[in-house]
Amino acid sequence: MTDHEVLTPAGLTARPLLFASGEDAYVADRVLRTWVSPDGADPDWADRVVAALEPGERAVGALSFEAGAPGILHQVVGEERALRSPGTEPADREWRVREFPTAAEYADMVRAALRQIEDGSLHKVVLGRCLDVVSEPPLDPADVIDRLLTTRPGRYVFSVPLTQGDTPGPLLLGASPELLVRRSGDLIQCTPLAGSVPRSEELAEDAERGRRLLSSGKDLAEHAFVVDAIVHALKDVCVDIEAPSSPQLMRTDTVWHLASPIRARLAAGAEGPSALRLAQLLHPTPAVGGVPREAAQATIAALEGDLRNYFAGCVGWVDGSGDGEFAVTIRAAVIDGERLRLFAGAGIVAGSDPDAEVRETGAKLATMARVTGLP
């Protein structure tokens, strides 16, 4: 389905549309069309979007976490550039914050998942929790985006309106550290993250936490689920797949991650899937879902309820040649007027400790809380 109501320049000023993976951001100057689908995993919809793109145009947008859930892509013309510097925070800003679920409720969710892992019906599941925030005065999305671009708590900074036209509505934004897939010609790259630990402000302890993560049997097993799933999916469309035998450390401002850069080439003799189709093929990986996929998604729905929507989905861009880049929608927030929701998840496997998973999700939530100015 397509919708021809578009964001005007004034609408883009209020709700900027961008995706950044380098020093500057690709910022949309003009929206030509907004493509929406009740099923963001629909391959025909993806192919129609890519086929409609002229030279110099991109489709920038997001896919939801669940299969059969909405997707939105804005067909745009723009350029790579920096945004303005962030403004000064109002001294009298007031916040009302609610944890959902609470730390204690989340720990109980982890215990419930561990019981399923123990009985063999599940190997891994990622469970999330949120902070729901009301801000007075409302946050200025442009200020939050500029702080994300300045501080770069994650490599992939994004801002995507989740509605078409200038009608006020939710804005998805964040700074993901995780590359789902990048296509440049026939070169395919993925950098999955799985296995994490909060960082420490004390240098020696921080380094020790990283070393322990690299040797943690529980975290290495969690990471292997993700790498194996991506390699298996790529085999359908790629050759020369290269995945490291062991992960490396990646750090953000609040968390150490295990990371595995994966490279492959599209099979010769065919045009090959676009970056958008590759994102549909790979998503959701066990980094945000679990193993087995169907059992994990059923557990997420039963324990989390309706938390995710576009959280833990993927966000990025594609052009008419099929090249593009999509990140996993983590370290993310949705701003809608005075309301703000932050989301973070943690992978639960055999050996997971509920209290440790509470701390891990708290550290991940702190990334976006810090950028929004939340005390």
* Residue 129 to residue 71: CA distance in whole angstroms: 22
What are the tens digits of pLDDT across the range 13-25? 888 999 999 777 8
Residue 88 lies in a domain: no
- 199: domain CATH number is 3.60.120.10
Residue 115 structure tokens: 């019981």
pLDDT value at residue 242? 97
pLDDT value at residue 60? 98
Residue 89 lies in a domain: no
Residue 366 lies in a domain: yes
Residue 316 lies in a domain: yes
Continuous segment of H or E residues that includes residue 109: helix 103-118
Residues annotated as catalytic are: 124, 178
Residue 190 lies in a domain: yes
Helices 275-282 and 217-234, axial angle in degrees (round to 10)? 130
Please give the full DSSP string across 297-339, using - where no structure is assigned: HHHHHHHH-S--TTTTSEEEEEETTS-EEEEE--SEEEEETTE
Inter-residue contact 255 to 193 (CB < 8 Å): no
pLDDT value at residue 160? 97
- Give the chain's domain count: 1
Residue 2 pLDDT class (50, 70, 90 cuts)? very low
Residue 10 lies in a domain: yes
The domain containing residue 322 runs over which residues? 2-83+94-372
What are the tens digits of pLDDT across the range 184-203? 999 999 999 999 999 999 99
pTM higher than 0.85: yes
Percent of the chain with pLDDT over 90: 75
